[in-house]
């Protein structure tokens, strides 16, 4: 879509990669390409919907536009209320501050009940321990089974809530408070 005078946001080839770290030295062994080359433009009085399966990068796109992350690549041209055209992807943090009154995000899970300092393994394992359903190795196996059941990869059980998508988090939260012994 070509930009014109009515364009308020033009996103060009936006990329947001997250490093994957492993081992004792926490070396970068690869990248999660959460957003990989997204382009669109938005005109005044237009509503744009972005849809796609859980984990495809919708929220990350929003966060990258808002500069809650430093984008790995691409441009985010925004026309301010004052009429300036600025690239939010590279603008200085100080200049970004006043723009936060103009562009904002409504979060998907603002009342998230997940403890950000606990891994998913501990979050899902906690009720199992409290209710003496399982502990140790056995608990890990049950956590893995629960994760698989809701379509989460058990290999990610040592990750923290912020490393999952909103939809994935909803599924973690859905399992976490369960009182019944898992099947």
Ligand X SMILES: Nc1ncnc2c1ncn2[C@@H]1O[C@H](COP(=O)(O)OP(=O)(O)OP(=O)(O)O)[C@@H](O)[C@H]1O
Whose Cβ is closer to ligand X: residue 1's or residue 107's?
A: 107
**Residue from 12, 31, 36, 56 binding ligand X (CB under 6 A):** 56
Give the strand pairing for 85-87 and 73-79. Answer: antiparallel
Find which of Mg ion, ligand X, none residue 134 binds, CB within 5 to 8 Å per kind. none
Q: Does 7 bind ligand X (CB under 6 A)?
A: no
CB of 163 to ligand X, least distance (A): 4
Q: Does 51 bind ligand X (CB under 6 A)?
A: no
Find which of ligand X, Mg ion, none residue 160 binds, CB within 5 to 8 Å per kind. none
- Residue environment code for 17-40, b if the CB has 16+ CB neighbours within 10 A, otherwise e: beeeeeeeeeeeeeeeebbbebee
Distance CA 79, CA 67 (A): 15
Whose Cβ is closer to ligand X: residue 2's or residue 48's?
A: 48
34-to-14, 61, 124, 163, 168 alpha-carbon distances in Å:
10, 8, 25, 11, 14
Find which of Mg ion, ligand X, none residue 140 binds, CB within 5 to 8 Å per kind. none
Q: Does 34 bind ligand X (CB under 6 A)?
A: yes
Find which of Mg ion, ligand X, none residue 162 binds, CB within 5 to 8 Å per kind. ligand X
Please report how the helices 120-130 and 136-149 are oriented relative to each other, as an axis angle in degrees rounded to 10.
120
Show contacts with Mg ion in window 138-177 (CB under 5 A).
Answer: 166
> From the DSSP assignment, how many helices (H) and strands (E) are in the chain?
5, 4
> Are 154 and 175 within 8 A, CB to CB?
no
Q: How many residues bind ligand X (CB under 6 A)?
A: 19
Binding-site ranges for ligand X (CB under 6 A): 18, 32, 34, 52, 54-60, 108, 162-168
């Amino acid at each position: 879509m070509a930009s014109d005078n009515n364009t308020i946001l033009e996103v060009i080839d936006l990329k947001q990669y997250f490093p994957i770290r492993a081992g004792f030295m926490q070396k970068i062994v690869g990248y999660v390409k959460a957003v990989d080359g997204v382009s669109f433009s938005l005109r005044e009085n237009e509503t744009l919907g972005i849809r796609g399966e859980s984990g495809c990068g919708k929220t990350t796109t929003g966060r990258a536009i808002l500069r809650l992350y430093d984008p790995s690549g691409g441009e985010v041209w925004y026309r301010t209320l004052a009429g300036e055209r600025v690239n939010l992807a590279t603008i200085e943090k100080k200049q970004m501050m006043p723009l936060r009154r103009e562009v904002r995000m409504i979060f998907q899970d603002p009342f998230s009940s997940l403890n950000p300092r606990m891994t998913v393994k501990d979050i899902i394992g906690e009720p199992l321990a409290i209710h003496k359903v399982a502990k140790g190795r056995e608990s890990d196996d049950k956590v893995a089974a629960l994760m698989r059941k809701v379509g989460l990869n058990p290999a990610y059980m040592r990750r923290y809530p912020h490393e999952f998508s909103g939809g994935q988090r909803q599924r973690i939260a859905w399992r976490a408070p369960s009182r019944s012994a898992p099947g």
